Amino acid sequence: MPILLALPRLPLAAAVPATDRPAGLMARETASDADLMRWSAAGDRAAFAVLVERHGERALRIALRVLGDPAEAEEVAQEALLRAWQAAGRFDPSRAQVTTWLHRIVLNLAIDRTRRRASAPQAGEAALAALPDPASGPEAAAVEAEERAALAAALAQLPARQRAAIALAYEEGLSGAEAAAVLDVSERALEGLLRRARLMLRRLLTP
Amino acid sequence: MTHGKLARLLDTHGPRPERWPPADRQAAATLLAASAEARAMLAEARRLEDRLGAGLPQPAPASVARLKAAVAREIARSPLPAPPGRWSRLLAALRPAAPAGWGALAAMACCALWLGLAASPSRVGDPLAPLQTLPIAEDSL
């Protein structure tokens, strides 16, 4: 195996079978996610770059909403995208959409990271630390920042899967069925997670 | 609909009636029209919805740009995706039977086992085979 790794790699274009190669950059940009993933599996880095361009921001947002910490979210989103690249050959379009598969990787990594944390409520603490000094800005901005920090602190107290359910439920353009598929649960189970999460948030946020 | 059921509805589906199950909408509307307590519950659910809608964290544009650049950099120097392994190919081949459940897969496995055993040479195939071992008249005993 090390011998194989040491061999010089073929040029990128040669890695994609000639019969299955996109005709140009425009072809990649207008291609479906499934086609891009198929080309990626055949070694087309440019096709994967288009997928990252399309879905990278949402991947980062989901990670951020589960973890609460921007730096950690960036690490997790990056790791998830690299894992998706390495596993592109194992992606099966008959079983899931590319976005479902990709977001599931992000979510699983984010939830794992949350569970490994030594102290769970880091997100709330980070948000509180990021609060602007009320004296330095308008009063309304200070109140808004305070409310955001309180929400972040409340979210940090939720179990990771409930936080993930909230992150997906408030993700624009994502249906309940897709959110459930990303979490790998039934729609009914997702509703249960959301119900418990909202109930707890109301209790935590009610003065 | 009771207040308890309305609370459950609001926690499960949020405060927007278009997201409620159609079967519950009329009963919820009736309760909301009749009960100040129900309206207060709806108002509280809306406050939470608004806070979540506005307050969930958004990644900074710089962070998104950093992520895309970092992934592009790593992908450029990482090996090409590995082709699917033997197990992945086997599972993919068996997947058409998956909707029928594990019973179908078990039945397929039994059939394969039975065919494998049946393929072994058997003497039962020729009913006259025992006669060929009998001595005939010209044979010297």
The average confidence (pLDDT) of chain A is: 82
- Considering only alpha carbons, which residue of chain A is nearest residue B98? A95
What local confidence, expressed as pLDDT, does residue A21 receive? 64
Is B8–A152 a contact, with Cβ atoms under 8 angstroms apart? Answer: no
What's the gap in Å between the CA of B46 and the closest CA on chain A?
11
A113 — pLDDT class (breaks 50, 70, 90): very high
Is B75–A205 a contact, with Cβ atoms under 8 angstroms apart? Answer: no
- Domain spans of chain A, in order of start: 20-120+157-205
What is the CATH code for A20-120+157-205? 1.10.1740.10
Which residues in chain B are contacts of A74 at CB distance < 8 A? 63, 66-67, 70
Is A61–B78 a contact, with Cβ atoms under 8 angstroms apart? Answer: no
* Average pLDDT per block of 10 residues along chain B, 141 residues long: 92 91 93 94 93 91 96 90 70 63 74 75 62 66 52
Is A148–B55 a contact, with Cβ atoms under 8 angstroms apart? Answer: yes
Measured distance CA(A132)–CA(A116) in Å, rounded: 29
pTM (global) more than 0.90: no
pLDDT single digits (tens) A8-23: 343 343 344 544 666 6
Minimum-distance CB partner of A170 among B52, B59, B72: B52
Minimum-distance CB partner of A147 among B13, B51, B83: B51
- Domain spans of chain B, in order of start: 3-55
What ipTM is given for this predicted complex? 0.77
Minimum-distance CB partner of B11 among A167, A198, A205: A198
A5 — pLDDT class (breaks 50, 70, 90): very low
A79 — pLDDT class (breaks 50, 70, 90): very high
Pick the residue with more confidence: A186 or A173?
A: A186
Which residues in chain A are contacts of B48 at CB distance < 8 A? 198, 201-202, 205
